[in-house]
């Protein structure tokens, strides 16, 4: 699907560029290319030169010309060869040269100098990483990563609409698994059912999604830990099977942890669920405009400590979601920042039993003037299959 240009988003980026005295951004992370141009590349070789004034330049593989023409929010699309019979260098060298030429007219340029992670391209299997030559190709540059993080933290109406689609697909895939999960199935088999539904049914979802991809970690009973790989361990009757799941729908993501149980939940897990859901519901109620991100972290961890799990969880308990599954802001008791209207936050308390087992709950919440709106239609807690 080709989305209309999101001027609210692009105007916010340009306003931040003006505040910081930046004439142009040069980005290569697939999520930032998508954010600024609406083009989601195949192999992560693509780039964008985004000026404070004027039209952006999208630089992409020749093989993606049709996709770029259909989806990109700019008419300035410059192509480079994936294979050049006269040039033995990798495609990253050629895209760098095109980006240099497009950026040469600008004074102060921002690069993703401190970018730690990036979202997947559409091919996913071989993430494309930055080379030394990329970072030294544009002269005296400044770090644009903080600017992009600030812009991306607040979602526009279009971005929220796109994230709702990802949430719908993830929930429908959970409903599918709820119908078919059985004791003795392996974690990998039920994970494959979830991922297969996302890709098979989510692609084309509601006539509005070109490509949906699912990513999962699935653990059952004593296999629940942070973090291990999904394995051939069986689904355990009476104990939760935990789905740590992401959906990417045309470059916009959701990040959930959902739980199913086959048969009657054990009394020990009933007690654990009750305690953790109280912590979770308190955190969701706290997540309002103006609330402290540091206090949210402290609040959740204090609640889990009171349940008898001191020092847990070992993973962050809140982060932003958008054009990446994990993006700023991040809640940390030693940090700063506050929750703002139009953020979308993943809230994910968890507690884990020594030797294996435990529970995590997680959903994505749009911060509105009235509080946190849950985006997934699938229930939280442990759901009876």
pLDDT tens column, 320-340? 999 999 999 999 999 999 999
**Residues 292-318: what's their mean pLDDT?**
97
Mean of pLDDT over the chain? 97
| Token pair of 253 as six digits | 């993501």
Question: What is the reported pLDDT for 2?
Answer: 84
pLDDT tens column, 201-239? 999 999 999 999 999 999 999 999 988 999 999 999 999
DSSP element (H, E) containing 335: none
Neighbours of 75 (CB within 10 A): 10
Neighbours of 311 (CB within 10 A): 8
For the beta sheet containing 47-51, the strands, ordered from the edge strand earlier in sequence to the opposite edge, are 77-80, 57-61, 47-51, 24-27, 109-111, 141-143
Question: What is the reported pLDDT for 227?
Answer: 82
Sequence-distant (≥ 6) Cβ neighbours of residue 224 within 8 angstroms: 240, 242, 352, 353, 356, 357, 358, 359, 360
| Token pair of 346 as six digits | 């993943």
60, 77 in Cβ contact below 8 A? yes
pLDDT exceeding 70 applies to what percent of the chain?
100
Token look-up 């992560």 returns 44
Question: What is the reported pLDDT for 237?
Answer: 98
**Residues 149-156: what's their mean pLDDT?**
98
| Phi, psi angle pair for 77, to nearest 5° | -115, 120
d(C-alpha 116, C-alpha 192), whole Å = 29
Peptide bond into 329 cis (omega under 30): yes
Dihedral of the alpha carbons of 18, 24, 26, 27, in degrees to the nearest 10: 30
DSSP element (H, E) containing 293: helix 293-306
Closest to 247 measured CA to CA, from 349, 359, 154, 346: 346
337, 293 in Cβ contact below 8 A? yes
pTM: 0.97
Question: What is the reported pLDDT for 316?
Answer: 95
d(C-alpha 149, C-alpha 385), whole Å = 39
Q: What DSSP assignment string belongs to 183-211?
A: TT-BHHHHHHHHHHHHHHHHTTGGGT-S-
Question: What is the reported pLDDT for 1?
Answer: 66
């Amino acid at each position: 699907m080709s989305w209309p240009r999101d001027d609210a988003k692009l105007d916010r980026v340009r306003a931040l560029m003006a505040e910081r005295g930046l004439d142009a951004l040069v980005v290569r992370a697939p999520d930032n290319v998508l954010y600024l141009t609406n083009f989601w590349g195949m192999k992560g070789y693509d780039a964008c030169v985004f000026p404070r004034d004027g039209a952006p330049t999208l630089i992409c593989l020749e093989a993606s010309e049709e996709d770029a023409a259909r989806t990109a929010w700019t008419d300035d699309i410059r192509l480079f060869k994936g294979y050049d019979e006269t040039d033995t260098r990798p495609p990253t060298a050629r895209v760098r040269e095109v980006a240099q030429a497009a950026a040469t007219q600008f004074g102060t340029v921002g690069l993703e100098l401190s970018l730690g992670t990036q979202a997947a391209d559409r091919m996913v299997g071989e993430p494309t990483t930055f080379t030394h030559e990329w970072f030294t190709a544009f002269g005296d540059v400044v770090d644009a990563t903080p600017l992009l993080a600030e812009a991306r933290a607040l979602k526009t109406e279009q971005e929220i609409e796109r994230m709702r689609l990802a949430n719908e697909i993830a929930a429908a895939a959970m409903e599918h698994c709820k119908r078919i999960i059985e004791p003795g199935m392996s974690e990998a088999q039920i994970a494959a059912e979830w991922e297969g539904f996302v890709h098979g049914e989510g692609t084309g979802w509601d006539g509005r999604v070109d490509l949906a991809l699912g990513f999962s970690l699935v653990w059952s009973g004593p296999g629940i830990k942070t973090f291990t790989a999904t394995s051939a361990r069986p689904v355990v009757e009476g104990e939760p099977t935990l789905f740590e799941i992401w959906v990417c729908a045309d470059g916009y993501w959701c990040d959930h942890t959902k739980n199913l149980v086959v048969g009657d939940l054990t009394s020990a897990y009933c007690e654990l669920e009750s305690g953790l859901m109280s912590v979770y519901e308190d955190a969701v109620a706290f997540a309002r405009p103006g609330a402290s991100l540091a206090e949210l972290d402290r609040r959740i961890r204090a609640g889990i400590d009171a349940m008898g799990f001191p020092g847990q969880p070992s993973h962050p308990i809140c982060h932003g979601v958008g054009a990446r599954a994990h993006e700023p802001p991040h809640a940390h008791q030693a940090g700063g920042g506050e929750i703002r209207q139009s953020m979308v936050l993943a809230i994910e308390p968890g507690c884990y039993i020594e030797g294996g087992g435990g529970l995590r709950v997680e959903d994505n919440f749009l911060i509105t003037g009235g509080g946190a709106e849950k985006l997934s239609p699938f229930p939280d807690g442990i759901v009876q299959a």
